[in-house]
Amino acid sequence: MPIAQAVTIGGVVLTVLSIDDFPIGFTVRLRLWLEDGHPIAERQRRQDAEDGRQAAARPGARGGSDAEAQAAIFTAFPPVPELELEVRDDRGRQYINWGGESSWGSSLELRAEPIFTPALDPAARELRLVVPEVQWRTVAGREMGEITAVDQGLWAFTVAL
């Protein structure tokens, strides 16, 4: 079911795009992006500009080791957002997140599809979806690093079923 509700807090725009209902659970499709002026977005713009200057200053040059090049890539990569979506219906039932997929990149846009169980209560008339905060973590290879920033919010959505 299409939702298309967006809430913006502190330059973080979170949109609930849709909910896909299945017999054993449901998926919520989310999009998170940053407005101009958000510290993470500004840091990435500065990094992109510096990378462009360095590439222009030494066209075709490849200095340093492969390990240094790989470390530079991860240093230049923006922190990754982590959020926990809490879902309850109007009858008081809480739904549990049991995985899903997400992608984040230098475009500073997160697309996520968390999966929830159990199936939606057929007697429920609305869902309340809440994200209390967005944590930003560094990336080190395939591992998540430390939390470098937290955007406090209460991104809250009420969805009619």
Task: Report the number of distinct structural domains present in the chain.
Answer: 1
CATH of the domain at 74: 2.60.40.1640
Considering the domain boundaries, does residue 34 fall inside one?
no
Residues 120 and 89: beta-carbon distance below 8 Å = yes
Considering the domain boundaries, does residue 123 fall inside one?
yes
Considering the domain boundaries, does residue 95 fall inside one?
yes
Instruction: Identify the sign of the CA torsion 130, 84, 82, 151.
Output: positive
Residue 35: strand, helix, or coil: coil
pLDDT at 71: 47
The domain of 81 spans: 2-29+47-58+65-160
Considering the domain boundaries, does residue 23 fall inside one?
yes
Considering the domain boundaries, does residue 41 fall inside one?
no
Considering the domain boundaries, does residue 116 fall inside one?
yes
Can you spell out the DSSP letters for 54-77?
HHHHSTT---S-HHHHHHHHHHHS
pLDDT at 46: 83
**Whether this model's pTM surpasses 0.85:** no
What are the CA-CA distances from residue 78 to residues 1, 10, 74, 92, 102 (Å)? 32, 18, 8, 38, 15
Considering the domain boundaries, does residue 39 fall inside one?
no
pLDDT digits (tens, 9 = 90+) for 25-42: 999 999 999 999 999 998
pLDDT at 130: 98
Considering the domain boundaries, does residue 38 fall inside one?
no
Which residues, given as ranges, of the chain have pLDDT below 70? 59-76, 106, 141-142
